[in-house]
């Protein structure tokens, strides 16, 4: 009954259901094959703990639904990278607000990589690293891949520069060239004769297409 009610809520929220997973189904196979945006799970039995533990460090947002408040369940849910805990019964709009928030705030990039708020989470050297977007020195595009440079470190995500900069999370950065993007507030100097700029002490080329946007960032008058 709970599953049916939640499915009704999801549809009313304007979202769609990929699949309802039973105890006999392979959760891992389904997630790897379908890459759902959100996993919604109840605490109907203790087996849920074992099935969900492998996803604690994954990009996958999980909404945990309980039929009564349970501190142990809440503590378990809080160990996940992206999770929400809610007790049924609750209004449909409560679930909608959570789904909308997760949809706006978390963006799956590729494999374990995702963006949440002001951070990008990336697999790097077999480790899972959390990078503050404000700490990124610059981005460099290579086809469908984007190189992220932070100090002496280089991170690579399988996500195009155009798609990355289209995320509201990256609104502090600006594309200056088909291959480069830098922090908006860190542009120090512009040289229009050789079409270069300096940001965080590094010199970059900038393209004619992006000149007006760069002028706006630098509070320079536009030239028609």
Tokens linked to 167:
């995320």
Higher pLDDT, 38 or 136: 136
Per-residue pLDDT averaged across 187-199, rounded?
94
**pLDDT reading at 223 higher than 70:** no
The pLDDT of residue 47: 46
- Whole-number Cα distances in Å, 104 to 56, 114, 116, 214, 219: 21, 12, 9, 27, 30
In terms of phi and psi (left: phi > 0; alpha: psi -120 to 50; beta: otherwise), the region of 35 is left
b/e code 65-80 from CB counts within 10 Å (16+ = b): bbeeeeeebeebbeeb
What percentage of the chain carries pLDDT values higher than 90? 42
113-167 tens-digit pLDDT? 778 778 888 877 777 788 999 999 999 999 889 999 999 999 998 889 998 998 8
Q: What is the pLDDT of residues 12-27, one digit of tens each?
A: 988 888 777 776 667 7
pLDDT at 85 over 90: yes
- Rounded to whole angstroms, how far apart are CA atoms 110 and 143? 15
pLDDT at 171: 92
Report pLDDT digits (tens) over 91-116.
999 999 988 877 665 666 666 677 87
Looking at residues 46-51, what average pLDDT do you find?
A: 60
Which among 217, 183, 179, 181 is positioned nearest to 200, based on CA atoms?
Answer: 183
CA distance 155 to 129: 10
Give the pLDDT confidence of 163-191 residue by residue, as tens digits.
899 888 899 999 999 999 999 999 999 99
- Name the residue with higher pLDDT: 220 or 28: 220
Please give the distance of CA 3 from its chain centroid, rounded to a whole number: 27
Query: Which region among 65-69, 81-85, 157-161, 213-217 has the lowest average model confidence (pLDDT)?
Result: 81-85
User: Order of strands across the sheet with 153-157?
Assistant: 153-157, 145-150, 138-142, 180-183, 173-175
Mean pLDDT of the residues in the chain: 85
Q: Minimal CA–CA distance to 88: which of 75, 106, 70? A: 70
Is omega for the bond preceding 108 within 30 degrees of 0, making it cis? Answer: no
In the predicted model, is pLDDT for residue 46 greater than 70? no
Q: Does the pLDDT of residue 219 top 50, yes or no?
A: yes
């Amino acid at each position: 009954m709970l599953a049916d009610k939640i499915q009704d809520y999801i549809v009313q929220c304007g979202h769609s259901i990929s699949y309802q997973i039973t105890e006999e189904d392979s959760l891992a196979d389904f997630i790897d094959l379908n890459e759902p945006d959100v996993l919604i799970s109840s605490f109907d039995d203790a087996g849920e703990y074992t099935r969900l533990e492998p996803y604690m460090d994954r990009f996958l947002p999980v909404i945990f639904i309980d039929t009564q408040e349970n501190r142990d369940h809440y503590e378990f849910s809080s160990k996940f990278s992206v999770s929400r805990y809610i007790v049924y019964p609750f209004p449909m709009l409560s679930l909608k607000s959570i789904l909308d928030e997760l949809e706006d705030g978390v963006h799956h990039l590729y494999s374990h990589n995702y963006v949440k708020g002001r951070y990008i989470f990336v697999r790097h050297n077999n480790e899972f690293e959390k990078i503050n977007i404000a700490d990124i020195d610059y981005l460099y595009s290579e086809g469908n891949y984007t190189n992220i440079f932070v100090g002496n470190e280089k991170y690579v995500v399988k996500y195009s520069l155009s798609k990355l900069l289209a995320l509201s999370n990256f609104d502090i950065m600006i594309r200056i060239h088909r291959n480069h993007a830098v922090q908006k507030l860190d542009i120090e100097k512009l040289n229009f004769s050789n079409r270069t700029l300096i940001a965080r002490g590094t010199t970059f080329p900038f393209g004619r297409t992006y000149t007006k946007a760069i002028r706006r960032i630098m509070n320079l008058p536009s030239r028609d």
